[in-house]
Structure 1
Amino acid sequence: MTVTFEDLWPVALLDEAGWSASERRELADLQERLSALPATASRVLLSIRLSILTDETTSPIRQELDLVRMAVERGSRVVGIARDLGVSATKVPPWKRPQLGEWIRNRAPEFDEILFWKLDRFVRRISDLHLMIEWCKEYQKTLAAKNDPIDLSTEFGQFMVTIIAGMARIEAANTGVRIESLWKFSRTVEKRWLIGKPVYGYKTELGEDGTKSLVFDQGKVRALRWVYSMVIRGASLYKACKLLTRAGILPPNKGQWSQGNLKVILINPALMGYRVYRPEGHKQGKPPLIAYSTDGTPIKITEGIFTKEEFDRMQSILEARSNKEVKQQNQRTPFLGIIKCGNCGKNWYDTAKSWKRATGEVMNSSRLRCSSYLTGSCGMKALNDPGKIYSLLKDTVLEEIGDYEVIHRKYTRGDDSLARKIQLEEQISHYMTALEPGGSYRDGGFIEAKAKETLSSLGRELASIDPESVEDRWTYESQGVTYRQHWETHGVKKMEEDLVRSGITFVIYEDHADLNVPHDIKERLIVRGDFFGAKRI
């Protein structure tokens, strides 16, 4: 695809960004020099980023002009500009930014280099830079900075990359050591709060001497004392969660109250005001351990929400209930994020649970309900036969898209024929012009015959070159199976992942259910490898 200067720098954009007359003249001069570059020149993407524009920062216009001049000096053609203004490099890595991320993830075949003004304009975390360097190696791209010695096309730049990669590993190791040392130190200090997030019911307060201490968060303390009274009277945690939600009391994290997150709070010894910690390898869901001083007594850092007697009584009740429960191998809701409520649009959850009767008989219960069920704001009734819904969903999906082929997207490098293709096109153009009436080869004799023979030979060679093979591109490969066969082999979990990725939803109403399939479902179903999907350092 041919990119014009008007595409890169539309007049409306220059007006909106406030380009001055002198800056536009400078840009016009650079554009003229860019237009003189050969078609075989390296293709460059400019990355412009700024969090907040102040008097001390370099304006995005100056960054852009500097990078265009840098491209000219490198003999590279500008094919795109990623302008991410108002984006934090600390919070948002390059591959997640609105414009640069789209180029990296989906438009990689269209450029060879990424130029940026300064390292802190591109990344702020060494781990992010290291991951981008690994991506460049994988996709054979080049990174280069205007004002820092980062340039993968030079030996010195590659040396700097090696240093940076080493720094990233050292930084990660040192961070872990520092945090672990701080945790160990904090367990020896009384009456001070040094690190970590307080348990629900407490908050930190800064003292006059500049040190932090834990104090009651009165609203949350009242909620916990109320839950304690409910537990003592025999009420279930499920009922407590339902009433907490109806009362508008927010859970510790975003989301909603559940028996799981409430129990995690209630079994934490920190509710007695003790210093607690989690040793390495400590299982999630288990209560943290109490820290002890050198004389063998628990370290108490603040007043307890519960006395030791109250806390122990609550643990006995919760443990007795836990012994009656039968642990399930898989408590997750099937097709979570796919089954939606027709009234409020929220997800449906499977409330499967099992318990033992006094006789030892195992009882099972399963219901499918909207996530608004606890608040009562939706009004949709729960369904007592989730299996029927799951079967209906699977059958409907298989009928709709089960016969579609499984397609994978792959990044394919172009071969070395591009330069020869351009040379052939130039030679053919020359011979065709010379063979026109009045041309230098149009003499009706030997020269014209030889010129026509050469032109035919050049045409055959050009025709033998696949135009798509000379450039980097995405290729799409069928895996030789349909989604029906794919899911039969890999199971329901894989089916769920594919449906979530494709945006298909199964909406439940009072009297029927609809399968909503996006119009571009075949495009959405294409499996695109995510280089940044897993941590690599």
Structure 2
Amino acid sequence: MKKAAGNRQRPHPTNSQWREPDLALLKELISAEVSLPSEAPRALLSVRLSTLTTETTSPVRQELDLRRLARERGYRVVGVASDLNVSAVRVPPWRRRELGHWLNDRVPEFDVLLFWKLDRLVRRLTDLSTMIDWCLRHQKNLVSKHDAIDLSSPAGKVMAELIGGIAEFEAAAISTRVTSLWDYARTQSDWLVGKPPYGYTVDDRGRLVIDPQEQRVLRWCLGAALRGVSARRMTTVLIRARVPTGGGGQWSAGTLLRRLRNPALMGFRVSESKNGGARRSETVLGADGNPIRVADPIVTEAEWLSLQAALGERAKSQPTRREGGATEFLGVLVCADCGTNMTAHRSRGKVRTYEYLRCRRCPSGGLGAPDPESVYGRLTDEVMSALGSEPVLVREYAPGTGTRDRRKRVESTIAHYMTGLEPGGRYTRTSFTRRQAEQALEKLIADLEGLDPQTARDRWLQTSSGGTFRDRWQQEGRETLAADLRRAGITCSVSRHKVPGVRAPKVGLEPMIPADAKERLVVKRDAFTGGSP
């Protein structure tokens, strides 16, 4: 089995909004940290914005204000978690890209979490309650620049929950206003808000009008579909012709099919519906029960019905999509030729239905890999043989606060006795007091030497669960196995070779295990839900 190298850590980036005065102040604030004692509390700065406008507080200002606060309180800044274009209502702190990485994987590296204002951290009272519980368990503090929040005092905890309730109420009010606006806009024939559907644009008067270039694309696709051309083939032609997608990125069969199935092509207002995980656009009906027309049609109703029938004839009944994708091992099984993920597909023949694995880029899926279950079974056997005997280790967080406090008390007491034993000190007046003080001093020095310096640091500990990964995978099933393989960065290269005289290709598997796979297999429990990853 092949070994893969690990990734190097990226430095914290600097964005283009920093001006020369800002950078000069940043340098000054960082330089001031040199004078801080080694045991100064370590601060992590949390910066967040939903959208950057002229009315919002810029990330630069948030960071500089927080660095000033850290200097005032004697904190050493160890990192900045910057999450921009992230909604605090939809994404809790532990699920954000930057802050979530610190909260889940870099807990021992900071003592205090600083944020500019409570609504920059959370917008839901339940999220705030979860963060407070997490901080108390991990002996961390929450400090706000503009709110009276400090978990080191009972009053600070009460104030945090009170302000959190106000922030949640404000977020609910905003959500209600936005929902009301969209509900009203859907009932109007004018185009008030939202992105126009493909094929249309908004003119200077705010009306929805046909985009000539996109109209030609859709009309060509209509004719191709009626001639029996597949969506994949149409996508290939569009990519080769360098036709813009209208939204960035590259054309795909799924994107093209969604646009061709959209009733908005007839000039009707539509709304998106996600039924069973599939994205579909549905016509919005007016008060009279008829579709609301917002623009001239690109295709007639008869043409649209003929188009849907043509697309339906080529549609395949694919396997039910799981939460992780069309195959349980999505992200693990990859094509040996093009490197894309292998996904499960189903094809109906005249006599029976065939299931197979295919990639994304190879012609015809690179011959496909028939019988996905046999591929899954072979992969499971390979992984069980390589890693099944490894013990299951669970990562636990161990704060070093208790040991640090004990060490400080012992060192303070030793200093007290040493001062008293100096010439003229309080313990030198009689031989008895000197002897008692010397004995106490020797005991304290022995206690200090017995304290492990490592236990004075916040750290991760790995404890055994008492079983092996073979036991874990056999008991918890294939989903747990696939999740563990993805976490460890383990992939399996799938090759297909044509065999003369045989219809089905020969399928080869080559698992690739990174050099640090055993370390990455350590189970990291979710500290915010209590479960495993």
* Bin for the TM-score computed over the shorter chain: 0.7 to 0.9
Question: Residue 346 of structure 1: which of 330, 340, 351 is its match?
Answer: 340
Residues 409, 529 of structure 1: 8 Å contact kept: yes
Which is bigger in relative contact order (C-alpha 8 A, separation at least 6)?
2
Residues 112, 142 of structure 1: 8 Å contact kept: yes
Quick check: 1:493 aligned with 2:487? no
Moved more, 402-411 or 448-457: 448-457
Task: Please name the residue that 1:109 is paired with.
Answer: 108
Unaligned runs of 5+ in 1: 1-14, 73-77
Alpha-carbon distance in 2 for matches of 1:111, 1:139? 11
Unaligned runs of 5+ in 2: 1-19, 498-507
Task: Please name the residue that 1:5 is paired with.
Answer: none
Which aligned pairs between 1:199-348 and structure 2 lie closer than 5 A?
199-202=197-200, 204-208=201-205, 211=206, 213-249=207-243, 254=249, 257-258=252-253, 260-277=254-271, 284-285=277-278, 287-319=280-312, 326=317, 328-330=319-321, 332-348=326-342
In structure 2, relative to structure 1, the CA distance for the partners of 1:394 and 1:250 (3 Å cut) is farther
In structure 2, relative to structure 1, the CA distance for the partners of 1:227 and 1:178 (3 Å cut) is same
Alpha-carbon distance in 2 for matches of 1:158, 1:238? 57
Task: Please name the residue that 1:372 is paired with.
Answer: 361
Alpha-carbon distance in 1 for matches of 2:287, 2:412? 85
Note the C-alpha offset of 1:308.
0.8
Question: Residue 197 of structure 1: which of 189, 195, 198 is its match?
Answer: 195
Alpha-carbon distance in 1 for matches of 2:61, 2:266? 54
Task: Please name the residue that 1:9 is paired with.
Answer: none
Say which SS state the counterpart of residue 197 (structure 1) adopts. coil
Which aligned pairs between 1:408-423 and structure 2 lie closer than 5 A?
408-413=394-399, 416=402, 418-423=404-409
Note the C-alpha offset of 1:461.
5.5
Question: Residue 137 of structure 1: which of 133, 138, 142 is its match?
Answer: 133
**What residue identity is the alignment partner of 2:217?**
A
**What residue identity is the alignment partner of 1:181?**
S
Residues 44, 115 of structure 1: 8 Å contact kept: no
In structure 2, relative to structure 1, the CA distance for the partners of 1:158 and 1:437 (3 Å cut) is closer
Alpha-carbon distance in 1 for matches of 2:286, 2:99? 52
Alpha-carbon distance in 2 for matches of 1:509, 1:356? 24
Residues 407, 448 of structure 2: 8 Å contact kept: yes
Task: Please name the residue that 2:505 is paired with.
Answer: none
Alpha-carbon distance in 2 for matches of 1:215, 1:125? 41
Q: Deviations over 1:312-352 (max 9, x none)?
A: 22233444566xx55534571342222334444333334x2
In structure 2, relative to structure 1, the CA distance for the partners of 1:50 and 1:497 (3 Å cut) is closer
Note the C-alpha offset of 1:273.
0.6
Residues 145, 151 of structure 1: 8 Å contact kept: yes
TM value normalised by structure 2: 0.73
Alpha-carbon distance in 2 for matches of 1:520, 1:328? 34
Alpha-carbon distance in 2 for matches of 1:406, 1:278? 44
Note the C-alpha offset of 1:272.
0.7
Moved more, 445-454 or 93-102: 93-102
TM-align CA RMSD: 4.6
Say which SS state the counterpart of residue 194 (structure 1) adopts. coil
Alpha-carbon distance in 2 for matches of 1:130, 1:297? 42
Question: Residue 454 of structure 1: which of 440, 445, 470 is its match?
Answer: 440
Task: Please name the residue that 1:182 is paired with.
Answer: 181
Alpha-carbon distance in 2 for matches of 1:65, 1:180? 38
Alpha-carbon distance in 1 for matches of 2:310, 2:401? 71
Question: Residue 68 of structure 2: which of 66, 69, 84 is its match?
Answer: 66
Alpha-carbon distance in 1 for matches of 2:178, 2:489? 40
Note the C-alpha offset of 1:206.
3.7
